[in-house]
Structure 1
């Protein structure tokens, strides 16, 4: 099922100005607040809500090359079981009103698109946010190709988890998949009873690759999950399965899309790049944090 066939009530509208925190309204191709701040919607269908003073570099987040590598890797289906389980957990006990879901660190939008395909007749209001303009640009482009009216099915934002341009208590679900959580902000934007789903690499995630590119691996510490302030622990599980990359191109894409590209030594990268095939363990921890009632 494509985005265009979903039962969607409307595009997500509960945005705030990143400069003064006032509500934004959409009109004439731009989001505006009452103070007169204006943010144009790009022709690809996204809006940049990351003020220059909030950037730590001129081009923060994943590079264009990392985004392209991740898109090829995910499109090949290697992480499809993760997307499937994330979608199932998100749709459990969904509210009767439109399910409002933010992917905080959405990358090129893969997991939101998979949620849309699994949602059947569940009304959705989807928001994807990433600090990388290259990631959000690609997410918006792919949505436009998937549906003629993609701007009604997803709202794509360049922004930061540290200062989410989202109205308080306006979300039912929030994802942070392999990203950088900011518990205080996540608590602010989630409605009471809303669920923050955190996805993190397990101790054996891509272990075979790490054994090749690093001289030794640090011992993993298994620390119990401690609820952040204003959250209760919901479901917690580990998803583990095997994949095989049977081309040098797929191995190169995996290396390029991860921080291992920069952490590994030149010798370690060379060993990985010399491989023709690589069997790997995928292991992901999925933890639900439920926003406590006020």
Structure 2
């Protein structure tokens, strides 16, 4: 079966175009990358790895998949779709940088499919091979193991780029977006999971986000912004443990804090996320 949209891909070693050759993607300089049986390609260059198994572990991916499939963050996905759908024509290319196990692209596809005869080209990439393997089970799209710092996509090939709760690299994002293209960043607000954080830590710190300044310094133009805030239904102990496992608090919190959190049951939490649209310059 032909690998989807290989014409948009670039070699992570030398940025040359990739072509499909049997079960591999190859460039003219002889670099080749196997197409995994699950239907993704690992285009993570050796210099982009900071460990033998970078990104989220298999256990973290499983926890996030189960938590999101429980519908606890469905309003986030619905708001994302409402913002993104009007920006995309049927031939558009949308990419999710740090796609995780593909939940948000899946939700976007399903919500757009109900109102359109055709849906845009969807590409997801993540530095975690476990996340990408899980994503291939969600929907038929172009899935890549790749880094935000070295995105293996052709310059100026993407109409809309998503960065949800990730680590944006604005210079690389600017390169792959088309002139006038849209970057939608979704970040945690200061009250996000505040109830859980108050249990995990002796005191809760409120640090100012610098991502908008970084984006503007990289040449992006500021667009519309909005805030979504809601309180989840009371979370059972299993869901709380899944939530903890899919956030940086798993590594930041003390052992004592995590023990306190692990004993919670029927515990609602505040979800507060910020949506910021940015655009690349047309000239």
- The TM-score bracket by the shorter chain reads over 0.9
Residue 51 of structure 1 deviates from its aligned partner by: 1.9
Residue 250 of structure 1 deviates from its aligned partner by: 0.6
Residue 13 of structure 1 deviates from its aligned partner by: 3.1
Q: How far apart in 1 are the matches of 2:209 and 2:157? A: 34
Alignment of 1:140 with 2:133, yes or no, is no
Aligned to 1:288: 277
Residue 224 of structure 1 deviates from its aligned partner by: 9.7
Which of the numbers 17, 21, 29 marks the counterpart of 1:27? 21
Q: Is the 8 A contact 1:100 1:124 kept in 2?
A: yes
1:84-143 deviation digits (Å, cap 9, x = unpaired): 111121112323x51201100000000000110011324311110000011001101333
Aligned length: 275
Q: Secondary structure at the match of 1:289?
A: strand
Q: Is the 8 A contact 1:16 1:22 kept in 2?
A: yes
Aligned to 2:45: 51
Q: How far apart in 1 are the matches of 2:43 and 2:212? A: 32
Residue 223 of structure 1 deviates from its aligned partner by: 6.9
CA pair 29-265 structure 1, distance change in 2 beyond 3 A: same
Q: How far apart in 1 are the matches of 2:120 and 2:161? A: 13
Q: How far apart in 1 are the matches of 2:46 and 2:138? A: 26
Q: How far apart in 2 are the matches of 1:127 and 1:204? A: 31
Aligned to 1:186: 173
Which of the numbers 80, 95, 108 marks the counterpart of 1:86? 80
Which of the numbers 107, 114, 126 marks the counterpart of 1:130? 126
Structure 2 regions of 5+ residues with no counterpart? Answer: none
Q: Is the 8 A contact 1:45 1:141 kept in 2?
A: no
Q: How far apart in 2 are the matches of 1:219 and 1:88? A: 29
- Counterparts of residues 138-217 of structure 1 (less than 5 Å): 138-143=134-139, 150=140, 154-217=141-204
Q: State the TM-score, normalized to the length of structure 2.
A: 0.93
Aligned to 1:262: 251
Alignment of 1:231 with 2:220, yes or no, is yes
1:163-189 deviation digits (Å, cap 9, x = unpaired): 000000000000110001111111100
Q: Secondary structure at the match of 2:232?
A: strand
CA pair 247-24 structure 1, distance change in 2 beyond 3 A: same
**More displaced 10-residue stretch of structure 1: 218-227 or 274-283:** 218-227
Q: How far apart in 2 are the matches of 1:224 and 1:107? A: 20
1:142-171 deviation digits (Å, cap 9, x = unpaired): 33xxxxxx2xxx110001000000000000
Q: State the TM-score, normalized to the length of structure 1.
A: 0.90
Q: How far apart in 1 are the matches of 2:143 and 2:267? A: 34
Q: Secondary structure at the match of 2:269?
A: strand
Which of the numbers 110, 131, 142 marks the counterpart of 1:117? 110
1:179-200 deviation digits (Å, cap 9, x = unpaired): 0111111110000111000110
Q: Is the 8 A contact 1:47 1:157 kept in 2?
A: yes
Alignment of 1:246 with 2:235, yes or no, is yes
